[in-house]
Structure 1
Amino acid sequence: MATLAAGATTEAPSKWDFSCNLEVDYQSDEIARIVYAALAVDKELQPDKVKRQMSISNGKLSVHFEAVEARFLRASYSAFVDVLTLATKTIEEFGQGIAS
């Protein structure tokens, strides 16, 4: 039976081998918060394969994606950008009076 020597550690390889970041500058915390709130309700369909973390800072919406495979990353990113585009266009069309 093999045992580890005292003080030796083994690191499990990260299962989140693929990642990317997206940042959208709305130049307004209020607009960034509205888009964040609209997108936050959509959870990942396969959270064991894709993680998404969103944050807001200085009017910018930042999104970090991690996935176990490139195809899951691409699918998640693509779907997210589609909904992000819709939310942004909606605010552009109907958001008169929102601080910019």
Structure 2
Amino acid sequence: MAAPHPYECEIVLDFASAEAATYAYETLNVDDEISPEKITKQLSTNGHQLIAHFWACEIRMLRAAASSFYDMALVTSRVLLEFDGLDE
């Protein structure tokens, strides 16, 4: 019997600080996957890194989830860059 989610991908994004990685994690971790039976996502941080791990039952679902994550991570990163240093 085949594994339910045989395809996987890990994306590691480096941020300038652990605080920025945490902000990105908190921003990107609010939504559940639309089809959890087809795609599973796990986010975590390790110091200044945001780590996204995806498991999917179909390679096309994995590609779509990774692409969507990159799009959302790019917007989040741009916001963090725009507002960097406001508390100084």
Q: Could you tell me the TM-score, scaled by structure 1's length?
A: 0.81
**Residue 73 of structure 2 corresponds to which residue in structure 1?**
84
- How far residue 95 of structure 1 moved from its aligned partner, in angstroms, is 2.0
Q: Per-residue deviation at 1:96?
A: 1.7
Q: Which runs of 5+ in 1 are unaligned?
A: 1-11
Kept in 2, the 8 Å contact 1:18–1:68? The answer is yes
Distance 2:42 2:36 in 1: 12
Amino acid at match of 1:67: A
SS at match of 2:42: strand
Q: Deviations over 1:57-78 (max 9, x none)?
A: 1210011111000110011111
- Work out the CA distance in 2 between the residues paired with 1:74 and 1:80: 10
Unaligned runs of 5+ in 2: none
Count residues with an aligned counterpart: 87
Q: Does 1:41 align with 2:30?
A: yes
**1:97 offset after TM fit, Å?**
4.5
Alignment counterpart, residue 30 of structure 1, candidates 14, 19, 23? 19
SS in 2 for 1:95: coil
Counterpart of 1:17? 6
What TM-score, normalized to structure 2? 0.92
* Separation of aligned partners in 2, 1:40 and 1:77: 14
